[in-house]
Chain A
Amino acid sequence: MNMMNSEIDPNAPRKSWLGLLAKSPAAEIARLWTAYDTHPDHSILRAPEIGGVMVRGRAGAVGAAFNLGEMSVTRASVKLGCGTVGHGYVQGRSKDHALQTALIDALMQTEAATQVEAAILAPLRKARDTAKATRAAKAAATKVDFFTMVRGED
């Protein structure tokens, strides 16, 4: 379904990298960002701000929406020297995480995109996929294989 969306949704690539950055560990992004950092000229449009987002669910998974509880989120916005604006909305309370996400988001809309993709996004994606696959493989190992015992006659 995601692949179909990317064909018709022009925002799909940006959606994908912002989601990846929001869900990746802050320390991992900080490490990759420090290694890459080209010190792009930028100004801060919105200083990092910690807040809450009310997470919603649906009654019976499919019915009316209800409020489940909040999660902590940090956001920031930056503007590059060339005028490109980047936004970061990330899980947790790390201001660096939000700021670095906003900078990466801005750079991904410029000619630096290929380098940023290779230096930061690709390793994050790989780490995420590996972590997900490992967890799925552990879950699969706890899957029950039923076998039927023949009881009685006939």
Chain B
Amino acid sequence: MYVAVKGGERAIDHAHAWLAEERRGDRDVAELGVDQIREQMTLAVNRVMAEGSLYDPDLAALAIKQSRGDLIEAIFLIRAYRTTLPRFGGSNPVDTAAMACDRRVSATFKDAPGGQVLGPTFDYTHRLLDFKLAADGEVAEMPQTEPNAGETPHIMGFLDREDLIQSEPAGAEKPDDLTRSPLELPASRALRLQALTRGDEGFILGMAYSTQRGYARNHAFVAELRIGAVAVEMDIPELGFAIDIGEITLTECETVNQFTGSKTEPPQFTRGYGLVFGMAERKAISMALVDRALRWKELGEDNLGAPAQDEEFVLYHADNIQATGFLEHIKLPHYVDFQSELELIRKLRREAQAGSQAGEQAEGKGPSGGSLTGKMKEGVAS
């Protein structure tokens, strides 16, 4: 028998009202503005844009406010909003060589043209709590220096010229799109990169870390890490030519990886690539390491059975909205499912008891038989 149950509406309404109240917190404390979140919680905003897969700092800030700072909930809100937008088209691939770099460092070449530019980094801070921030918000003007007029070329270009690095094959001009068709395996590199860039930062970081600890180690050097603004250009049909439709901040990481050669490839350096919305270097470096691990097949490497080499494992578990949706649904009512489980266990217990009584009568022995129902009974009792 199935009985439909109604009656949660009032409780739900009240729960939402309380949520709104708790979100606001102590009313003696000034309310947080969306613009304050956008300007002062920038890296949280960046993460929500990257994993929400929509570059819009105002919306990401709003989502963070609405979700009380629960970033996965905020990402969920952005993903949901994103699906309501009509798609005007796809941009031309961004030209990261032309990036106006806030930060640009190389771990492989000290004297790279364009130099080592640290930018607004946490590196070299002592990670000591700064109690001045709790007291006042005064910030001293930072010094400025005349920028050098020269370009900041990609470091990989130098290795490429010497033919020491694997070259990147061209692909389809209109790449496969995860948001348009379900992920199928084996996935193209374009699909893998899309899944990684919108994947959960913690998951991608953990996967990347596993390669460093020895699960498909790929000996990565950060050849270049750059953060800055790039123009987004798109062909406009009604104009008949391409124009810049905006400017976004990106983090790009290129790794150069040791490679002793394989059955199909000569000894050379290989590449891993990370490109992420906003200032997100932990994510970009992680993405590059995992990208490289997933390329074992095209480079003719051995499958070591490591998790980071397993395309299915990585790509199907990287999305925190899919993961949280499936995980959190188990807290919702499963009364009928559980009722049937309960019935089953009761039935098995009855059968097991009846069976053992019959056995005792027949053989005069205890209930510890090797039968399936006997094992079930032990499992239930323990």
Instruction: Check: A31 CB closer than 8 A to any chain B CB.
Output: no
In the complex, chain A residues whose CB is within 8 Å of the CB of B55: 55, 69-72
Beta-carbon contact of A55 and B145 below 8 Å: no
Beta-carbon contact of A144 and B115 below 8 Å: yes
Beta-carbon contact of A141 and B142 below 8 Å: yes
In the complex, chain B residues whose CB is within 8 Å of the CB of A64: 168-172, 175, 188-190
Complex CA distance for A61 and B156, rounded to whole angstroms: 9
Instruction: Check: B130 CB closer than 8 A to any chain A CB.
Output: no
A72 in contact with B110 given A55-B248, A134-B144, A143-B117 (CB within 8 Å): no
A73 in contact with B145 given A51-B87, A52-B54, A68-B277 (CB within 8 Å): no
In the complex, chain A residues whose CB is within 8 Å of the CB of B345: none
Instruction: Check: A137 CB closer than 8 A to any chain B CB.
Output: yes
Beta-carbon contact of B197 and A140 below 8 Å: no
Beta-carbon contact of B243 and A89 below 8 Å: yes
Instruction: Check: A62 CB closer than 8 A to any chain B CB.
Output: yes
Instruction: Check: B335 CB closer than 8 A to any chain A CB.
Output: no
Complex CA distance for A133 and B148, rounded to whole angstroms: 11
From B103, B156, B239, B248, contact of A87 by CB (8 A): B239
From A23, A56, A65, A89, contact of B231 by CB (8 A): A23
Question: Which of A58, A66, A70: most chain B CB closer than 10 A?
Answer: A66
Instruction: Check: A138 CB closer than 8 A to any chain B CB.
Output: yes
Q: Which chain B residues (180-204) contact chain A, with CB distance < 8 Å? A: 188-191, 193-194, 197-198
Interface residues on A, range: 35 or more
Beta-carbon contact of B234 and A53 below 8 Å: yes
In the complex, chain A residues whose CB is within 8 Å of the CB of B366: none
In the complex, chain A residues whose CB is within 8 Å of the CB of B188: 64
Complex CA distance for A77 and B239, rounded to whole angstroms: 11
Beta-carbon contact of B232 and A53 below 8 Å: yes
Beta-carbon contact of B231 and A52 below 8 Å: no
In the complex, chain B residues whose CB is within 8 Å of the CB of A19: 231, 243-245
Instruction: Check: B247 CB closer than 8 A to any chain A CB.
Output: yes
Q: Mark B54-67, 1 if CB is under 8 A from A, else 0.
A: 11101100000000
Q: Which chain A residues (21-66) contact chain B, with CB distance < 8 Å? A: 22-23, 49-66
Beta-carbon contact of B87 and A66 below 8 Å: no
Beta-carbon contact of A72 and B175 below 8 Å: no
Beta-carbon contact of B243 and A18 below 8 Å: yes
Instruction: Check: B92 CB closer than 8 A to any chain A CB.
Output: yes
From A23, A50, A53, A141, contact of B247 by CB (8 A): A23
Of chain B, the residue at the smallest CB distance from A145 is B115
Complex CA distance for A67 and B53, rounded to whole angstroms: 10
Instruction: Check: A82 CB closer than 8 A to any chain B CB.
Output: no
In the complex, chain A residues whose CB is within 8 Å of the CB of B173: 65
CB distance from A88 to the nearest CB of B (A): 10
Instruction: Check: B93 CB closer than 8 A to any chain A CB.
Output: yes
Of chain B, the residue at the smallest CB distance from A91 is B246
Instruction: Check: B164 CB closer than 8 A to any chain A CB.
Output: no
Among the stretches B94-102, B208-216, B259-267, B316-324, the one at the interface with A is B94-102
Beta-carbon contact of B231 and A69 below 8 Å: no
CB distance from B201 to the nearest CB of A (A): 14
Of chain B, the residue at the smallest CB distance from A128 is B247
Complex CA distance for A65 and B142, rounded to whole angstroms: 38
Beta-carbon contact of A142 and B117 below 8 Å: yes
Q: Which chain B residues (29-76) contact chain A, with CB distance < 8 Å? A: 49-50, 53-56, 58-59
From A18, A54, A57, A139, contact of B275 by CB (8 A): A57
Other A-B contacts than A89-B245, A144-B117, 7 sampled, CB-CB below 8 A, are A15-B244, A49-B86, A56-B90, A59-B193, A65-B171, A135-B100, A142-B117
Q: List 26 A-B contacts (CB under 8 A).
A: A11-B241, A22-B246, A23-B231, A55-B55, A56-B92, A56-B93, A59-B168, A59-B193, A59-B273, A61-B254, A62-B156, A63-B170, A65-B175, A66-B175, A66-B194, A70-B55, A71-B56, A71-B248, A72-B56, A91-B245, A92-B58, A132-B100, A139-B102, A139-B228, A140-B144, A144-B117
- The 10 A-B residue pairs with the shortest CB-CB distance in the complex, in nearest-first order: A64-B171, A63-B168, A91-B246, A19-B244, A137-B144, A66-B190, A52-B85, A71-B55, A60-B168, A136-B147
- B contacts, CB < 8 Å to A: 49-50, 53-56, 58-59, 82, 85-94, 96-97, 100-103, 110-111, 115-120, 142-148, 154, 156, 168-179, 188-191, 193-194, 197-198, 228, 231-232, 234, 236, 238-248, 250, 252, 254, 271, 273, 275, 277
